[in-house]
Amino acid sequence: MENRERKNGILLYLNDEELEYLNHKCKLANVKSRSEFIRRLIIRGYVYDVDFSELTRYNYLLSNISSNINQIAHRINETRSIYQPDIDGVKEEMKKLWQLQRSMLSKLPWAKQ
C-alpha cells in the first residue's frame, strides 16, 4: 500500500443492472479496469475508444490520389498532353475519399444532430 500512487479508495454500490451497464461501458471504452474508466470519467468528463481503421483507409486513399497526380504530372511533362482516363481516375479516387470522410465525420458524437 505504501508504494501505491493512488492511496485514496472509494466505495461504490451498484445494483445488478448498473453493474452490467458499467461493465458494458468499460468494454466499449477498451480500458484495463473499471477504476481506470471511472478515473477517466472524473478527469475528462467522458471516456471513448478511437477506432483508427477508417483513418488508415483515408490515408491510403490520399496516398493513391497523390501517386496518381504525380504520375499524371510526369506524363504531362513528357508528352505535353493530358488524357481523360487519367482525370477520370483521379476523380473516382476523390469521390471515394469524400465518401469515406463523410462516413467518418458522421460517426463523431458532436457531429450528430
pLDDT digits (tens, 9 = 90+) for 66-87: 888 888 888 888 888 888 888 8
Nearest by Cα to 71 from 87, 94, 54, 51: 87
pLDDT digits (tens, 9 = 90+) for 6-47: 888 999 999 999 999 999 989 988 899 999 999 989 988 876
Helix (H) or strand (E) holding 24: helix 16-29
pTM for this predicted structure: 0.45
- Distance in angstroms (rounded) separating the CA atoms of residues 89 and 75: 14
- Distance in angstroms (rounded) separating the CA atoms of residues 91 and 46: 39
State the residue for C-alpha cell 457531429: 111
101: Cα separation from own chain's centroid: 11
Residues 54 and 100 sit within 8 Å (Cβ to Cβ): yes
Residues 37 and 15 sit within 8 Å (Cβ to Cβ): no
